Structure 1
Amino acid sequence: MIHEGWRALPPEARGGAVALGNFDGVHLGHAEVLRAAHQARPELPLVALTFEPHPREHFRPDDPPFRLTLLPAKAAALAALGARAVIAIPFDAGFAALSAEAFVEEVLHRGLGARHLACGPDFAFGHRRGGDVAFLRAAAEARGIGLSVVPKLADGEGPVSSSRIRRALQDGYPERAAALLGRPWAIRGPVTRGDARGRTIGFPTANIPLGRHLEPARGVYAVRARLPDGRIAAGVANLGRRPTLGGDPVSRLEAHLFDLSADLYGQELEVALLHFLREERRFSDFAALSAQIAADAAAARALLGA
């Protein structure tokens, strides 16, 4: 359940063990924060507090899209880790001006009625990031609230982080991103109308704008999609700007799902990028493109056992 803001929360969202963070991607390190909150007070409801939009989107609105998960997907991933409620604080100019002391008193203490907190070691909050973990520990203790500070999770390549996952995706390694996330990375969004060129060669596609999602490496991927009714369909997808067809101003995902004839226009799909097959490139003509799409589909079927 997603709750926007911290005022007038229902009973199930108050008095809990609260995990704090931006949680972009909800990766394995984030899972440790939720686990620590629950283990400290297992008798309390587990609550995740996050910010929407991501603070970076507020302070640097002209940056290219970078999000790994938008709020619905983030909330679903947090719920899968046991969060009974997700508190999405609207991050606007007014909230950005809130002092660190006010954040603890008004949001965590009065608003959420938090009884235990968990966060990473670099969690910062309040106006100009004036509050750090040391400040949070003292402020929480003064109000009888416990705090668990969770060390960064690391592997042989270094700390698990959202920025590291973004780099893996932008470099064309979705498998590396999946290992850090604990699940394949997926783009979730509504199916929009395309120009239906794929239907003419037997490869109809579901077109999904990237929107505020990070743009991973442009090219062709083996994918699995979750349909609105819960079914899973294997497929092949192109992510890019279709240079052979004249080029698009922005990238989009075009997914051809194997052995599926349903009309998905207007419905929401979640398309997981599993394997990078090749880079996007311009072909000499439509026939050459068609032949390559057939080869890509065969390669994706072989990889996915579809």
Structure 2
Amino acid sequence: MSQGALARLFSLHDLPSRLAGGVVAVGNFDGVHRGHQAVFVAARQIAEAERLPLVCLTFEPHPRTVFNPERPVARLTPAPMKARLIEALGFDAVVEQPFDRAFASLDPDHFVQSVLVESLKARHVVAGFDFHYGARRRGTPETLAAAGQDSGFGTTLVPALADAGGETVSSSRIRRLLARGEAGAAASLFGYRWTIRGTVGKGAQIGRTLGYPTANMTLEPETLLAHGIYAVRLRRADGSLHDGVASFGRRPTFDDGAALFETFLFDFSDDLYGETVDVSVFDFLRGEERFDSAAALVEQMDRDAVAAKALLASASPLSDLDQAIAF
């Protein structure tokens, strides 16, 4: 079980000896959603029971992006945010193993021996029901279990997690929800409010002239989230939380320019330029609209602020992870 801050490592070779010989949760884990969390909880329970280090092995960039660079995967949790979530779940380390075609070409048996046995010295490996590994994905959950028996490590394979309607929780399903603006529905599958991290930059400062100064961030890819207005909560590097309302889109009333994620914080006057912040998206308020005048836009923004304040005031944590991230 974690005894301190997460060790974020960028290669198998970076693993310190004190963290070798532990329980390893392995997978891509983009989104760290409730299905992934079931894997993490199973791994943590084993590590606690056996008093072993708890390590997550994941891969960067996403393997599907390596094989199809023309259509990169829209990442729900880029590596820094994934690491923060994994830390909140009690891990000692995350290994972000570089993934390229050479690594992908490892024979499944070689993957087990070189990665799990020799580099990590895994005592127990935990993976999801659909985990595949090695060249042409020939390694399966079944071959992993057999390899564990041969190589002396235990294996736990976690079944698919379904929601109340019986549908499997998955990253692709969450992406579809966010693309429709359904942040609240996505949060029920995440098990926490989806949170984006970015550095605040200067925009055209239109909001300042309207009495709504905003902290502007670029969201990549811009297709990940539907354009519109959202109730949000921002966390600064010092840990302080600030409620607000965000507009994601192209500002059709003014310039119809490049998409920006623009957050207005209630009762806040500090300068955030250049600061890296996390913004948790609680729910969708309305779609992006073009107004006939700036005055009409401001009237609607006033209504948006009231709606966002009411929504955030009544919000409660969805889980311990949500408590750690957004409350």
Could you tell me which of 189, 203, 224 is aligned with 2:212? 203
Alpha-carbon offset, residue 279 of structure 1:
0.5
Q: In structure 2, what residue type is equivalent to 1:81?
A: L
Once the two structures are superposed, the pairs formed by residues 6-45 of structure 1 within 5 Å of their partners are 6-42=12-48, 43-45=51-53
Could you tell me which of 265, 281, 288 is aligned with 1:257? 265
Match of 2:125 in 1: 117
Quote the RMSD (CA, aligned, Å): 1.6
Contact 2:44 2:91 in 1 (8 A): no
Once the two structures are superposed, the pairs formed by residues 176-255 of structure 1 within 5 Å of their partners are 176-212=185-221, 215-249=224-258, 251-255=259-263
Report runs of 4+ in structure 1 exceeding 6 Å deviation: none
- Return 5+ residue gaps in structure 2 as ranges: 1-6, 315-327
TM-score of the aligned structures, taking structure 1 as reference length = 0.95
TM-score of the aligned structures, taking structure 2 as reference length = 0.89
Contact 1:221 1:300 in 2 (8 A): yes
CA distance in 2, matches of 1:4, 1:140: 25
Alpha-carbon offset, residue 65 of structure 1:
5.3
Per-residue CA deviations over 1:37-78 (Å, capped at 9, x if unaligned) read: 233343111111111111122222222651110111101111
**Count of residue pairs brought into register by the alignment:** 305
Match of 1:286 in 2: 294
Contact 1:191 1:206 in 2 (8 A): yes
CA distance in 2, matches of 1:60, 1:263: 40
CA distance in 2, matches of 1:173, 1:68: 14
Q: Residues 68 and 213 (structure 1 numbering): CA distance in 2 closer, same or farther, change over 3 Å?
A: farther
Asked whether 1:63 is paired with 2:67, we answer no
Alpha-carbon offset, residue 172 of structure 1:
1.9
CA distance in 2, matches of 1:100, 1:285: 62
Once the two structures are superposed, the pairs formed by residues 126-145 of structure 1 within 5 Å of their partners are 126-145=134-153
Q: In structure 2, what residue type is equivalent to 1:174?
A: A
Once the two structures are superposed, the pairs formed by residues 80-95 of structure 1 within 5 Å of their partners are 80-95=88-103
CA distance in 2, matches of 1:67, 1:214: 11
CA distance in 2, matches of 1:254, 1:69: 19
Contact 2:64 2:72 in 1 (8 A): no
- Return 5+ residue gaps in structure 1 as ranges: none
CA distance in 2, matches of 1:181, 1:214: 19
Identity within the alignment, %: 49
Alpha-carbon offset, residue 233 of structure 1:
0.4
